[in-house]
Amino acid sequence: MSRLKKCELLTIVCLVLGSLLIYLAFVGVIDERKITVENTLVAGYSHHNPSTAMDTPITLLLRMPGRLLDHRARYYCDLFRSTVLFWPPSYGKTVIVLDEESAPDHQFGEIVINHTRKHFPEYKLEVLYEALPKDKGVLEFPHSRQPPGYNRQLWSSFFLDLYTNDSIIAWMDSDAAFITPVTKSSIFNGTKLRVLGWGCTFHLAWVKQYAITTMRALGLPFVVDYMSYFPTYIYRDTFTHCREHITRHMNASDFEKAFKSFYPGGDLLSPVSVVLSYAWFFERDRYDWHMQICTNLTEYNKQFPVGADIRPQHLEDILSQPQTAFHVRYGEFLSANILISYCLSHEAAGNQLDVCLRHNFSLSNNFDLLHHDLQRLKTIRQNPCAGNNTDYCLQVLGDHYKEVGLEIKENGRKLDWRGVKTVEELAKEIGITCKPWLY
């Protein structure tokens, strides 16, 4: 107990120091920009149509290297296996983007298409291929901290708009798995896309680096860390606008040149944080912001240009919708929630399944899903539902499962564990063994 307290205290001290450093780094740069930024912000709002219906198709999009066995295993065991359970095919198609120049990628693409068409015909899948950038120097340069494959993943992240014509992209990683049924309420608030962000990690060296590269790319501060949750829902054209903005800001003739200047060797980059920081400054009204920061808001806001400050209504200590996916390698223990969520869903639909009766789960077994940052759950603190928060958490989870249960009852959603078994067998066919989820 006292050890925990000590850790928390240390974290807080670091947070304060960390944010102060970041803050100091920004102050000088921002002041003289205030006027220009404001003008751009106003202009930014005018080039899109803000209304989006909740039945707009959403592309579940994944960029991965298909030649690496490790990534193939993640795709089958994490993403594919959980998609067929928790992501309704009626939401839209899945698009996997692989490496154009790699023969094993084409072979993998064919395998996945064959498996999906044969066993999950209701899931529309497209496999597309991305060519290497024209300039090889974009991915391979002296002093790069990362191998070219890693740099390529970062590079590609800025081009996700090229792989679908749907106006909304649900961005996933191959090693992210769904953890509870995805609902429209977890994607939308009215016509806005929900965004989660976590501003409590500035003590981490790599987050400080993300902040610096974001500032360099956008000419505007990193708002918070948007890398802590999945899927990330982003309008397709936000990617387009963001690339245009960066290219213009870097005075570059194309994005390749811009990328080389804001991501020189030795730095770290979080593309999702760049794109969503861009959205915060230029398309704020299209998104519904749910952020948590761990320092004084007035102080935190001093880094932002006038009119771009974070307001109390953008902050949320406990999520108002559960997280629907997690990054498996950062918290494998969270996999237990997959069966819990499955059982709570069927219970809400009035279905009594033997496996669920054996476990007798309750909503409180799902409390971890209300944490902002599932990646650092182990190191930061326990779930946020202790003490006075318990009732609120139970209400949020209760509403979530009521929505899911109703859809199951009305045949709007299947939640069938046989799909999980099928994917495990398909994985075996290509030499991959998935760790079972069901104990």
Ligand X SMILES: *[C@@H]1O[C@H](CO)[C@@H](O)[C@H](O)[C@H]1NC(C)=O
Q: Which residues sit at the interface with ligand X, rule CB under 6 A?
A: 107, 110-111, 114, 163-165, 189, 249-251, 288, 296, 298-299, 320, 360, 362, 387-388
> Minimum CB separation from ligand X for residue 251, in Å?
4
Select 28 or 411, whichever has its Cβ closest to ligand X: 28
Count of Cβ atoms closer than 10 Å to residue 329 Cβ: 12
> Minimum CB separation from ligand X for residue 292, in Å?
14
Select 207 or 396, whichever has its Cβ closest to ligand X: 396
Identify the helix (H) or strand (E) that includes residue 354: helix 354-359
Select 328 or 356, whichever has its Cβ closest to ligand X: 356
Select 177 or 356, whichever has its Cβ closest to ligand X: 356
Select 39 or 411, whichever has its Cβ closest to ligand X: 39
> Minimum CB separation from ligand X for residue 41, in Å?
18
**At residue 62, what is the residue type?**
L
Cis peptide preceding 231, ω within 30 of 0: yes
> Minimum CB separation from ligand X for residue 91, in Å?
17
Contact 356, 347 (CB under 8 A): yes
- Measured N-to-C along each axis, helices 205-218 and 271-282 cross at an angle, to the nearest 10 degrees, of 50
Instruction: List helix spans (H) across 47-120.
Output: 69-74, 81-86, 103-119
> Minimum CB separation from ligand X for residue 107, in Å?
6
Contact 17, 296 (CB under 8 A): no
User: Which residues pair with residue 291 across a beta bridge?
Assistant: 197, 315
Instruction: List helix spans (H) across 102-221.
Output: 103-119, 148-156, 184-187, 205-218
> Minimum CB separation from ligand X for residue 24, in Å?
14
Select 300 or 437, whichever has its Cβ closest to ligand X: 300
Q: What is the dihedral of CA 418, 421, 422, 426, to 10 degrees?
A: 170
> Minimum CB separation from ligand X for residue 390, in Å?
10
Select 82 or 321, whichever has its Cβ closest to ligand X: 321
Select 249 or 414, whichever has its Cβ closest to ligand X: 249
Instruction: For 423, list phi and psi in degrees, rounded to 5.
Output: -65, -40
Dihedral sign (CA 77, 235, 401, 312)? positive
- The conformation of residue 315, written as its DSSP 8-state character, comes to B
> Minimum CB separation from ligand X for residue 161, in Å?
9
Tally of CA atoms within 13 A in the half-sphere of 21 that contains its CB: 15
Dihedral sign (CA 76, 82, 88, 91)? negative
Select 85 or 241, whichever has its Cβ closest to ligand X: 241
- The conformation of residue 436, written as its DSSP 8-state character, comes to P
> Minimum CB separation from ligand X for residue 403, in Å?
12
**At residue 95, what is the residue type?**
V
